[in-house]
Structure 1
Amino acid sequence: MAIITFNEEKNIADCIRSIESVADEIIVLDSLSTDRTKEIATSFSKVKFYESPFPGHVEQKNKAIGFCSNDWIFSLDADERADKTLVHSIEAFLESENITVNGYKIARLTYHLGRWIRHSGWYPLRRFRLFQKNAATWVGENPHDYIELKSGSIGKVMKGDILHYSFTDFSHQITTINQFSSIVAYTRYAKGERFSLAKTIFKPFGKFLEIYLFKFGFLDGIPGLWIAIASAFSTYLKYAKLYELDRKQIERPSNVRKEYGKN
């Protein structure tokens, strides 16, 4: 099992407990936390704790894979838990023989604004989370990473959910949106993308329609409406921050850590 962390003292214990019974080892790669993350994580006997500056989500998760000693890896974020059904599915997988696939997708269910969000593009959002070490790699646009199989076949979707406690409240969501939009803008600018007024105007509106109508966000009630609005706002922020970078008003957004992007 592999987890990356930074100041996750409120989450890391529950994350580890949810999967501890089926893990041979639990790799925690920490980005130099300043809270009790290390103290809590290392209190679990199966944890192997490592520290490294944070170059980016994709890069850090691939580095965590490198510390794993087993052929099969299960990956969780610190704010995620494996539900009981998923744990039983993994137990059955470990007991099986003649495995001919290299990865399994697992659904993720997010708790937000007092309810489980089952629409809005947030569920089931199946991604590879159980995979063979030598057949997979983390890819994507930081901070939106995902596993890509380099070779081999895909197994059936595993029964059970990864439970995602992404935000403590709406204010936390806005803080995360502000941080993640900065990372996206900074990453895209480094890759050569430049500001577009048309995209700044029309993309947020399109994102709202996508989440609220086409992905049935309205079925999630008021939280679905808030999610659609927040997603549109996030889209706007990415382009607004790209404007600052493109006009040389800043070298990087102020909430992007200095070590980000350095391998």
Structure 2
Amino acid sequence: MTTPGALRSTVLVVASRSRSPRIEAVGGLAVRRTGVDRVHLVGSAATPLGGDTIDVRIVVEAGARLHVCSVAASVALPGRSTDVSHASWTVEVEDGAEVIVDPEPTIVAGSADHRSSLSLHLGDRVRAAVRERIQIGRSGEVDGRWSGVFRVDGVAGPVLRHRLDLGRGAAGHDALFAPTASISTLTWPECLAESPSGDTVTGLETTMPMAGGGTLSTWLGHRLPVTRSVAALSARGDQPARLASAVSAAPSFADGSSP
């Protein structure tokens, strides 16, 4: 059922070896080309509010490269008639392609209940790095709720089915830990996730090599630390492309501000 007054935002980005990325965007998100193979998502309206939905589809055609990021943190807010908002990302990486998806954090503010899903479909001989950063609450807020599902499929079948819940009412939110921030980084085929700095005393980090290939690194804590961006570095000549960590020109904090 559609919530009255809710905003539906859709984004399509298709990267090709032979031309600049093709972009379609409707609703509260716009997309800007910021490099030969890089695009930034830009908020053109206050979204997601309760009742809003965001659908992002990214297609990287065979042999192409694409780096997707955003200009600022996304803030999920409760709506007038519901606290629940949804975001869905689908990333399709065809044979021999390379993709990095590294948007700024999502901040779940007030009593908002934000639910996200990310589906990654990998072809043969691909390189991929996908990172999702979540923070429950702005300064002094603790009532938000977030749940996220991460699915990865390769040419041989399912690779990963992963779910996290944060905030009050989540299964892992108890007197022992009660994390309110998370970083999930999937890399394919090798591991390149850095260890976050900052909330290292109360943070919990796990790196899991997956049986089907690739690595999932998950960090849980109370406040998002400042982290470096995941950037693409392409080797020249006949050497294969590789993905590595690089220092961001302007790192951002959990509240979306800059240093």
Does the TM-score normalized on the shorter chain lie above 0.5? Answer: no
With a CA cutoff of 8 Å and minimum separation of 6, indicate the structure with the bigger relative contact order.
1
**Greater per-residue strand proportion:** 2
| TM-score, normalisation: structure 1 | 0.31
Compare CA radii of gyration and give the structure with the larger one: 1
**Greater per-residue helix proportion:** 1
